[in-house]
């Protein structure tokens, strides 16, 4: 814990720009009620009543009002941070908010009041046990949610859905650890410990519960991060038209002239609440024009970073030698969906077909006639692993997925020891301890200051 975690802090808690309301928030750290009372006396010439909205002037050092608004005082521990908090709710003009902020900093100089760092209010809430780490992260996820589904799932995380599942799993691991370590202390009590206590069954139950949690966490990570979908192929196969069809807007210029798209065009769309970041790229060919060559180089850069590549072909030509050369450069770890476009100019019907040579499947469609577009949407969800029948998905982050995966690895090793004999109980106990430790990093019960710094530094200032 850093020394700065004890300082009084202040920040503008509303977004930059003009708005009807602007909020300046102060949390008093370990300075406590005396510092809060001192600052209220300087700012308002009076004390605010706890948890009552009071209409007050916000005055400068000479007593001239800068603004008028609502003053609120929340004594510890009944506040967002768990510390004494004052909020000034005035008008949302950027200039007047800066004036109020500066006046508060001047008035609070004697108590060490300083500007808050990004995420520092929520960090205080975590350190004061008002939120665990998954709930603290959910605050940022709720603010940044780009879809309704993501917002609802962030709300589930903020209410403790992920935390409760982790705690239940940790409790089961602890119960099993108690059995194992008790037997280590008294080995003569029960030589048939593994059978008599059904360690195999208990461990299998824990691993099944962890597998279910991993599945839900992957769904939550998908809602939070979305998929990067890159449209690739030769010029004039319909990449820009497909982007426009998926987005429902004319984002890319469409002409019969090859090489119209010189740079990437991006748009985030939603399918079943899952954000897809769709990127249209320059047509892939041997270009003579320097500008087009730069655009093609950028196309390959986007293809290398993609989660899914849509390789568009002209249905009239099928998989040509040039298309095979393009497909040969795709990374094998990235799923590729082959798109046969312009089937309206052939006798091919819309459909999805499984293929083997470098692609996950082939989708046959016509962007111009709006045939087969929904088949493509469904196929993207299938590749993403999305299941629409999950009733309550909590948002998850990459660090949560890594922690769950590592915990499962320790439990897998523990299972191997269980299959051995009683002489391996000390190793079994150690793997259970490591699994518990890794699960506890998710909620922050076993977390380094470096990790906390990395997490909260990505929050906005004032939250």
CATH code 3.40.50.300 for 143-222+395-456: no
Question: CA dihedral in degrees (418, 424, 430, 431; nearest 10)?
Answer: -30
> What is the H or E stretch that residue 462 is in?
none
CA neighbor of 12 nearest in space, from 115, 81, 126, 137: 115
User: For residues 279 and 154, which has the higher predicted lDDT (pLDDT)?
Assistant: 279
Cα 4 to the center of its chain, rounded Å = 27
d(CA 282, CA 299): 6
pLDDT band at 190, cuts 50/70/90?
A: very low
pLDDT band at 16, cuts 50/70/90?
A: confident
pLDDT band at 200, cuts 50/70/90?
A: confident
Which three-class secondary structure state does DSSP give residue 303?
A: helix
| CB contact at 8 A, 252 and 283 | no
Structure confidence at residue 458 (pLDDT)? 76
Structure confidence at residue 422 (pLDDT)? 55
Which region holds residue 254: left if phi is over 0, alpha if psi is between -120 and 50, else beta?
beta
pLDDT band at 250, cuts 50/70/90?
A: low
**Domain layout of the chain by residue ranges:** 3-127, 143-222+395-456, 226-384
Query: What is the spatial order of strands in the sheet that 274-280 belongs to?
Result: 265-271, 274-280, 227-233, 308-314, 336-341, 361-364, 351-354
Mean per-residue pLDDT, 259-263: 50
pLDDT band at 358, cuts 50/70/90?
A: low
pLDDT band at 253, cuts 50/70/90?
A: very low
Q: Among 3.10.129.10, 3.55.40.20, 3.30.1360.120, 3.50.50.60, what is the CATH number of 3-127?
A: 3.30.1360.120
User: For residues 330 and 446, which has the higher predicted lDDT (pLDDT)?
Assistant: 330
Mean per-residue pLDDT, 436-440: 93
d(CA 247, CA 259): 21
pLDDT band at 128, cuts 50/70/90?
A: very high
d(CA 243, CA 266): 9
Q: What is the pLDDT of residues 369-418, one digit of tens each?
A: 989 999 998 888 888 777 665 555 677 788 898 999 999 999 999 988 88
CATH numeric code, 226-384:
3.40.50.300
pLDDT value at 260 more than 60: no
Structure confidence at residue 425 (pLDDT)? 79
Mean per-residue pLDDT, 277-299: 77
pLDDT band at 185, cuts 50/70/90?
A: low
d(CA 338, CA 365): 11
pLDDT band at 456, cuts 50/70/90?
A: confident
- Beta-bridged to residue 276, according to DSSP, are 227, 269
pLDDT value at 423 more than 90: no
| CB contact at 8 A, 340 and 364 | yes
- Beta-bridged to residue 229, according to DSSP, are 278, 308
Q: What is the pLDDT of residues 93-124, one digit of tens each?
A: 999 999 999 999 999 999 999 999 999 999 99
pLDDT value at 182 more than 50: yes
Q: What is the pLDDT of residues 341-355, one digit of tens each?
A: 999 999 999 999 887
d(CA 166, CA 212): 12
pLDDT band at 3, cuts 50/70/90?
A: very low
What percentage of the chain exceeds 70 in pLDDT? 87
State the DSSP code for 366.
Answer: B
| CB contact at 8 A, 22 and 90 | yes
Which three-class secondary structure state does DSSP give residue 442?
A: helix
How many Cβ atoms sit within 10 Å of the Cβ of residue 279? Answer: 21
pLDDT value at 326 more than 70: yes
User: For residues 241 and 395, which has the higher predicted lDDT (pLDDT)?
Assistant: 241
Which three-class secondary structure state does DSSP give residue 373?
A: helix
Structure confidence at residue 285 (pLDDT)? 74
């Amino acid at each position: 814990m850093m020394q700065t975690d004890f300082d009084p802090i202040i920040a503008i808690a509303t977004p930059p720009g003009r708005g009807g309301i602007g909020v300046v928030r102060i949390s008093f750290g370990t300075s406590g009620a005396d510092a809060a009372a001192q600052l209220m006396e300087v700012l308002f010439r009076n004390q605010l009543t706890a948890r009552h909205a009071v209409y007050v002037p916000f005055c400068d050092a000479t007593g001239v009002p800068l603004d008028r608004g609502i003053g609120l005082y929340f004594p510890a521990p009944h506040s967002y941070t768990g510390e004494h908090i004052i909020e000034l709710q005035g008008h949302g003009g950027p200039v007047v908010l800066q004036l109020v902020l500066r006046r508060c900093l001047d008035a609070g100089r004697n108590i060490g009041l300083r500007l808050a760092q990004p995420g520092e209010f929520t960090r205080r809430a975590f350190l004061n046990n008002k939120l665990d780490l998954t709930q603290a992260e959910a605050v940022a996820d709720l603010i940044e949610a780009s879809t309704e589904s993501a917002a609802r799932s962030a709300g589930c995380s903020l209410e403790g859905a992920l935390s409760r599942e982790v705690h239940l799993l940790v409790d089961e691991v602890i119960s099993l650890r108690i059995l194992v370590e008790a037997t280590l202390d008294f080995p003569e009590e029960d030589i048939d410990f593994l059978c008599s206590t059904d360690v195999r069954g208990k461990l299998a139950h824990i691993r099944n519960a962890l597998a279910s949690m991993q599945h839900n966490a992957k769904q939550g990570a998908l809602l939070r991060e979305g998929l990067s979908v890159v449209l690739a192929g030769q010029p004039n196969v319909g990449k820009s038209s497909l982007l426009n069809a998926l987005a429902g807007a004319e984002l890319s210029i469409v002409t019969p002239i090859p090489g119209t798209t010189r740079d990437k065009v991006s748009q985030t769309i939603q399918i079943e609440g899952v954000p897809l970041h769709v990127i249209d790229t320059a047509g892939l060919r041997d270009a003579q024009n320097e500008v087009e060559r730069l655009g093609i180089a950028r196309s390959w850069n986007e293809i290398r970073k993609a989660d899914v590549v849509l390789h568009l072909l002209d249905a009239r030509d099928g998989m040509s030698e040039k298309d095979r050369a393009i497909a040969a450069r795709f990374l094998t770890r990235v799923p590729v969906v082959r798109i046969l476009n312009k089937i309206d100019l052939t006798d091919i019907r819309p459909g999805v077909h499984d293929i083997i040579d470098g692609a996950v499947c082939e989708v046959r469609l016509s962007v111009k006639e709006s045939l087969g577009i929904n088949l493509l949407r469904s196929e993207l969800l299938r590749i993403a692993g999305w299941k629409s029948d999950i009733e309550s998905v909590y948002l998850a982050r990459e660090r949560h997925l890594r922690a769950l995966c590592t915990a499962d690895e320790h439990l897998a090793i523990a299972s191997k020891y269980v299959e051995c004999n009683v002489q391996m109980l000390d190793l079994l106990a150690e793997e259970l301890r490591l699994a518990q430790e890794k699960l506890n990093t998710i909620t922050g019960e076993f977390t380094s200051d470096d990790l906390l710094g990395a997490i909260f530094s990505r929050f906005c200032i004032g939250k």
